[in-house]
Structure 1
Amino acid sequence: MTETAPATPSASAVALVDALRAFASEERVLLALDFDGTLAPFVDRPKAARMLPQAKEALDRLEALPNTWVAYISGRPLSSLEIVTEADPDALLIGSHGVEIRFGRDGVSLDLSIDEQETLQKLGDVLGALVSSTEGTRLETKPVGYGVHYRLLGEEEGKKVVEAAYAAAASVSDKLTIRDGKDIIEFSVRGANKGDGIERLREYTKATAVLFAGDDVTDEDGFAVLRPGAGDVGIKVGEGETAAQFRLADETAVATMLSLLADARQSSTA
């Protein structure tokens, strides 16, 4: 009988573990985490999404530690993010790609101008008409824009919907902020991104190091503002080109990583 030798950890896995240990020993740390596709699997009903139990247990432990902050940063509207994260009143939340901010019990008003309100109304009309005439699509209303979902369509059908959505939005304004995500195309009347949100969180918490994990192309804005040489850690979840230093396969791998990080942070703050 031939014995199989134990698998040797890859160089990238070893480097990630070393980075997590160093991060855990920082004085003040912030974990800024995307939700869908990072902590929670994608589901057909967005408001039914919940993070994996192992991830929630690890984050609960981390939040209880001194000088340790956990924040959720998502393209979801803040109202939806509050539901799926099961956030308490003191949670740090960044919704709508950085447009909406909730630092504990203090929110940030959007204060849309009259022009922005009128553009938003017209945008909803044209995109609503597109979705109504295209089976397999869904319109998501966001605080400063709309998202056209097409996950139920095939690749070619999806491309046609994206092209039609671009054309419809262009008929309203040429100054919209456009984001092309996983099976969704979003149009907003006000620009902000996850990188902006991370910088606001860093300033608010006065973190000496930030860990950001995300799976979507819109998360690249977040990775772009990280400072790896100063202790920050960026983790891309899943496939695709990325500016992040490290990569994990899926939500289960993220949950395992968070458990390891919670253990290391508990040891360093004991």
Structure 2
Amino acid sequence: MGPMELNSSHVSPVLTESVAVNKSRLGIHSSLLPYSQQDSSSPLSPAAGKLSRTGSRKSAAGNIDDVRFNGWLDAMKASSPPRKKILKGSVINTLLPSSNIEYDNNEDYHSLTVDYPSAIECFGNIIGRAKNKRVAVFLDYDGTLSPIVDDPDCAFMSDPMRETVGSVGRCFPTAIISGRSRDNVYDLVKLTELYYAGSHGMDIIGPPLRHNNNDVSTNNLPNCVNSTDHQGNQITLFQPATQFLPIIDEVFRTLVEITKDIRGAKVENHKFCVSVHYRNVEENNWTIIGQRVHDVLKNYPGLRSTHGRKVLEIRPVIDWNKGKAVLFLLESLDLNDKDDVFPIYIGDDKTDEDAFKILRESNRGCGILVSSVMKESSASYSLRDPNQVMEFLQLLLNWNHKRETKHFNKQIKVKV
């Protein structure tokens, strides 16, 4: 489907002030090319940029030693912490009426806070750094705004969470950056106050690109299209991997076919990536599902696999991720001055690490990891679960209200 699918009623960005994206800074020209079109000396480059499949299709069964040798099985286990009992009386039950929610005890989370202090307990420190700055908020969806559940189609936000996130979107520039398709995550969130980036940032809808108050021709910006939505709002659609769409669709159909005999396996097409869920697959079959995905990817060197929470993500081999999506949105919103802007990124998945890393390396804002178990992260702080995410966002709203009230009172005194 072409970029002009933009004319759906799904997204209605509120902010309109923006500037042109600095292409060289974001690497839109060279770094968005498949690796084989860049430096051929890169270990990832041999034939990696070919968009069509190569060679004949091999047996889906494959050799399970491939998965073990390449560390896939270890990665699948590492990204799939065991389910523990929900705390008795926990308000997590108010988020989703299901017993299939992953949640861990206070002792596990306490171990995590040794390296990644609670963002709630350290709220004063965080806001101290944000003083006199413009705050921008970036949120993952699954595991951050909604609990992790067995069926991805049932990962619903609670009404209180939706109300809270909507209020945040009215106070600060706010974006959801998810591995889901852009349309899918909007259907779950249903808030027009926000910006949306689907497929791990490979499908972004944001404000119109401008420069010195003059419109910039998107003809000079690869994969960018200026348009309007059904409500008449000016918007820009950025899709750096459009050339991969036919390949993604083909791989999706193949993976559906070769995993249909594995009980509990689920394959989803998120437009610019494919998710293979093994959350409901018996652990002794993880090697089989991993090997079958591995064998399919041998025929598509332009694609790669990454590991999430009990999911394999099949993505194009381009130099683009959630971190660069954050930079794109910040520049589009004229929020790229690190001395004046304080971005906050909250996420729970390995794919969120790219955003945490960019914020840490640029010494701007803060990354907040959502987890109840110990793990390595580039985040600075942590929250245990979606309930604590909502509590943190409410603290942020209260702080902003006090700040605006204080500013208003100062203006009244000056006028008097």
TM normalised by structure 2 equals 0.56
Distance 1:83 1:259 in 2: 23
Q: CA deviation at 1:246?
A: 0.6
Alignment-derived partner of residue 79 in structure 1: 183
Distance 2:277 2:194 in 1: 28
Alignment-derived partner of residue 211 in structure 1: 344
CA 1:127–1:26 in structure 2 vs 1: closer, same or farther (change >3 Å)? farther
Residue 40 of structure 1, aligned match among 143, 146, 164: 146
The reply to whether residue 173 of structure 1 matches residue 300 of structure 2 is yes
Equivalent residue letter for 2:321: N
Equivalences for residues 83-102 of structure 1 within 5 A: 83-88=187-192, 90-102=193-205
CA deviation map 1:67-124 (0-9, x unaligned):
x211111000011011011122x520110001000116425264733xx355334423
Equivalent residue letter for 1:132: K
CA 1:69–1:162 in structure 2 vs 1: closer, same or farther (change >3 Å)? same
CA contact (8 A) 1:98 1:197 kept: yes
Alignment-derived partner of residue 6 in structure 1: none
CA deviation map 1:17-44 (0-9, x unaligned):
1233225534321100001101111234
Alignment-derived partner of residue 396 in structure 2: 261
Equivalent residue letter for 1:127: L
Equivalences for residues 45-194 of structure 1 within 5 A: 45-65=151-171, 68-88=172-192, 90-103=193-206, 105=229, 106-108=235-237, 110=239, 112-113=242-243, 116-170=244-298, 172-189=299-316, 191=318, 192-194=320-322
CA 1:23–1:131 in structure 2 vs 1: closer, same or farther (change >3 Å)? farther
CA deviation map 1:143-171 (0-9, x unaligned):
1232111110233322431232112221x
| Structure 1 gaps, min length 5 | 1-8
Equivalent residue letter for 2:137: L
Distance 2:151 2:315 in 1: 22
CA 1:222–1:133 in structure 2 vs 1: closer, same or farther (change >3 Å)? same
CA deviation map 1:199-257 (0-9, x unaligned):
11211223311000101111111101104875501100113211100111111111111
CA 1:231–1:18 in structure 2 vs 1: closer, same or farther (change >3 Å)? farther
Equivalences for residues 228-239 of structure 1 within 5 A: 230-238=363-371, 239=373
Distance 1:17 1:196 in 2: 26
Distance 1:59 1:140 in 2: 26
CA deviation map 1:52-75 (0-9, x unaligned):
33433332332233xx21111100
CA contact (8 A) 2:274 2:314 kept: yes
CA contact (8 A) 2:169 2:194 kept: no
Distance 1:201 1:159 in 2: 38
Three-state SS of the structure 2 residue aligned to 1:102 is: strand
Distance 2:161 2:154 in 1: 17
Task: Report the RMSD for the aligned CA atoms in angstroms.
Answer: 2.5
Alignment-derived partner of residue 5 in structure 1: none
Q: CA deviation at 1:175?
A: 2.5
Distance 1:94 1:117 in 2: 17
Equivalent residue letter for 2:175: A
TM normalised by structure 1 equals 0.84
Identity %: 25
Q: Would you say how many aligned residue pairs link Structure 1 and Structure 2?
A: 256
Between structure 1 and structure 2, the one with the greater Rg is: 2
CA contact (8 A) 2:252 2:268 kept: no
Equivalent residue letter for 2:195: L
CA contact (8 A) 1:33 1:212 kept: yes
Alignment-derived partner of residue 18 in structure 1: 124
Equivalent residue letter for 2:315: S
CA 1:136–1:76 in structure 2 vs 1: closer, same or farther (change >3 Å)? same
Structure number having the greater strand percentage: 1
CA contact (8 A) 1:235 1:245 kept: yes
Three-state SS of the structure 2 residue aligned to 1:167 is: helix
Equivalent residue letter for 1:187: I
Distance 1:107 1:132 in 2: 38
Equivalent residue letter for 1:120: I
CA 1:92–1:121 in structure 2 vs 1: closer, same or farther (change >3 Å)? closer
